[in-house]
Amino acid sequence: MKTKKGIIGILTGGGDVPGLNPAIRAVTVRAIHEGYKVIGIRRGWAGLIEMRRDKEADNSDHCQVLTEELVNRVGRTGGTFLHTSRTRPSHVPDVNIPVHLRDRYGAPMNDLTEEVLKNLEFLAIDYLVPIGGDDTLSYGVHLHQKGVKVIAIPKTMDNDVPGTDYCIGYSTCVTRTIEMTQALRTTAGSHERFLIIEVFGRYAGFTALLPTMAGAANRCVIPEFKFPLERLAELLTEDRNENPSRYSVALVSEGAMFVGGEMSFASAEADMYGHRKLGGIGDLIAEKVKDLSPRYNQGRRVNVISQRLSYLVRGGDPDAVDSIVPMAYGNIALDLVLEGRSGRMVCLRKGEYDDVPIDIVTSVKKAVDIDKYYDRGRLRPLYKSFSRKPFFILEGD
């Protein structure tokens, strides 16, 4: 039943990050106080294709009414209590078609957008608030073009959603990367080795570049620049020889590529957005620089410690920034609802909260401007004037 104001739906899609639950809490508490009912869609876009349009059906596994008591209880924790998936309703393979829809959809790849639209109508949702990265939000753009009132909130550890300087999860990722790199230094120093650490970043190198800029590593390699392995081996050897503890550190984006190589995949299987799971470039680079090290170390090989941080930076509670920004983003989303505006994405640009057209998500790509921020010859950040730079320094647009 509709309330006086209406119903707001909220979902989280793609990879989990710390800060999702605070965002859900912010949207829900403000919406309830403004007179709205809030429905949480479970498992991202999957909940909107798996539910049944039957008032007698049990859809509790696909959606739930959110209360202030519930979101206050989980609002300070990591992950997403609504759960998530990498579902793309416009591209659902036959093996993922819900049982009750298999008589209508039997192609190898199926567009279930019609089901999503009917289910939104069945739930009487007036505004939809998806929280996700560029993949999740790209489908939000699709629904917006179909007439759905969408207010998007950007999140991703890679910080590569266009139109915003900040995505939920980025600060915690950077914080954990710095902490874990510092912890691994003791082992690298004890054994006088190279330390190669693989971090997130499929197409953008923000999560490798900013920790390196903060002093976590000597060098970093990022997806935006295909680097020569020989140069990395030479520089790491140079750094090691200058270090009294005889070790050096490089951060490697999971999407980084060296000259003569390609992206390294952990699996041949692709998700519904066409992305294969990345992983292993750090180990590959570690072996390569170990083999190359005698050229630059008087004929002696330098052994390597290789560590993939992966889900270690996803788990756990959000840091301060990923508690504050989601709170602000959620409230801005409700401001837009109250103003009767839709087709917008909340954002943070040059230190100020704002909103931009949601279709920016699909109109441009966000990546590190290597002319401004990356020293190709030294494989490290460029240190120039920080005056009037945004809080997290690196702009992508």
Q: Which regions of 183-264 does DSSP assign to beta strands (E)?
A: 194-199, 219-221, 248-253
Q: How far apart are CA 360 and CA 141, in angstroms?
A: 9
Start-to-end C-alpha separation, the chain = 43
Nearest CA to 9 out of 119, 92, 164, 134 is that of 119
Helix, strand or coil, per DSSP, at residue 181: helix
DSSP state string for 157-169: TT---TT-S--BT
Half-sphere exposure of 362 (CA within 13 A, CB side): 16
Instruction: Output the CA torsion 313→316→319→321 (10° steps).
Output: 80
- Which amino acid type is present at position 290? K
Quick check: 131 and 358 in contact, CB under 8 A?
no
Of 16, 135, 158, 359, the catalytic one is: 158
User: Is 158 annotated as catalytic?
Assistant: yes
Q: How far apart are CA 131 and CA 249, in angstroms?
A: 34
| Residues labelled catalytic | 158
